[in-house]
Amino acid sequence: MGGLADENDRRIEEDGSDVRDNASPLLRKLRTELRNGGARVRDELARVARSSDVQDALQESFLAERGGRPVLAVRASARSKVPGVVHDASSTGQTLFVEPFAVVELNNRLAEAAADAREEVERILAELSSAVAARSDALQMLVESTGALDLALACGGLSRAWRGAPVESSD
């Protein structure tokens, strides 16, 4: 059972919140790509936003997000100055949220990498689950034995607290 526990510890975060980046070479590669790609997208968007033509068209100077994709808040009247995909509009219609064409392909690759990473996590979890299932009889016996040992120790501790009085369990 030690090998099973070691394998789970190696591949799952200590708090159980996620699969570790280094759970597989592919997952490490994909998560690195996601981190680096996200930075490239933000850098490219900032570069686009700093260009003089686009800067005049922006409603706000900060980056926004719509549909999980980073976008620029562009004044509707200046839409033609920022070629790209419109993802949303403000409630007043004065602002359009545009993903510039310069980052569309970068974002598409990030979306693909995120999907691939989710698939790899599912594969790893299925593999770990199969390993646990293959040892289910031994694990059940281990749990029952541990419970019996715990009960015996608890009875002994209670007996000692009662100054040697016998303690019996009705398990």
Looking at residue 123, its pLDDT comes to 98
Looking at residue 128, its pLDDT comes to 96
The answer to whether residue 171 scores a pLDDT higher than 80 is no
What's the pLDDT tens digit per position in 125-159?
Answer: 999 999 999 999 999 999 999 999 999 999 999 98
Q: What residue has token string 């394998």?
A: 7
What's the pLDDT tens digit per position in 59-96?
Answer: 887 788 998 899 999 999 999 999 999 999 999 999 99
Looking at residue 166, its pLDDT comes to 81
**Per-residue pLDDT band at 19 (split at 50, 70, 90):** very high
Q: Any idea of the CA torsion for 26, 27, 33, 36, to the nearest 10 degrees?
A: -140
More confident residue, 161 or 26: 26
**Per-residue pLDDT band at 1 (split at 50, 70, 90):** low
Q: 3-state SS of the chain?
A: CHHHHHHHHHHECCCCCCECHHHCHHHHHHHHHHHHHHHHHHHHHHHHHHCHHHHHHEEEEEEEEECCEEEEEEEHHHHHHCCEEEEEECCCCCEEEEEEHHHHHHHHHHHHHHHHHHHHHHHHHHHHHHHHHHCHHHHHHHHHHHHHHHHHHHHHHHHHHCCCCCCCCCC
**Angstrom distance (rounded) from CA 130 to CA 120:** 15
**Of 51, 24, 164, 11, which is closest to residue 61 (Cα–Cα)?**
51
Looking at residue 153, its pLDDT comes to 94
